[in-house]
């Protein structure tokens, strides 16, 4: 993992680690987590978590609504571009 080019073109700077998704059907909530390592910041480890809610509209359609995202460690929050 981590061999693909990131959106910012920082392949040699950021290494992606584990990716996982937690789906809570009772709460209609999904959480996607991406772990990463930033080589240029003294091998800093962190993770990006994206939270969304969902509504099952039919057997073939689901509406997903973005709720929030967090990046840890917290000092990286100021480094994330708006389009992420």
Is residue 83 in a domain? no
> Domain range holding 32?
14-75
The pTM of the full predicted model, rounded to 2 decimals, is: 0.67
Would you state the pLDDT for residue 45? 83
31 occurs within a structural domain: yes
50 class by beta-carbon count within 10 Å (0-12 exposed, 13-18 middle, 19+ buried): middle
71 part of a folded domain: yes
Report which DSSP code applies to 40.
G
Residue 42 lies in a domain: yes
pLDDT below 50 — which residues of the chain?
A: 1-2, 83-84
Domain tally, the chain: 1
Residue 4 lies in a domain: no
pLDDT value at position 2? Answer: 46
Residue 6 lies in a domain: no
């Amino acid at each position: 993992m981590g061999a693909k080019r990131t959106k910012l073109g920082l392949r040699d700077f950021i290494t992606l680690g584990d990716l996982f998704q937690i789906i809570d059907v009772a709460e209609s909530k999904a959480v996607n987590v991406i772990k990463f390592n930033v080589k240029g910041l003294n091998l800093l480890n962190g993770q990006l978590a994206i939270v969304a809610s969902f509504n099952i509209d039919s057997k073939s359609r689901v509406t997903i609504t973005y709720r929030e995202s967090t990046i840890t460690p917290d000092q990286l929050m100021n480094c994330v571009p708006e389009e992420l």
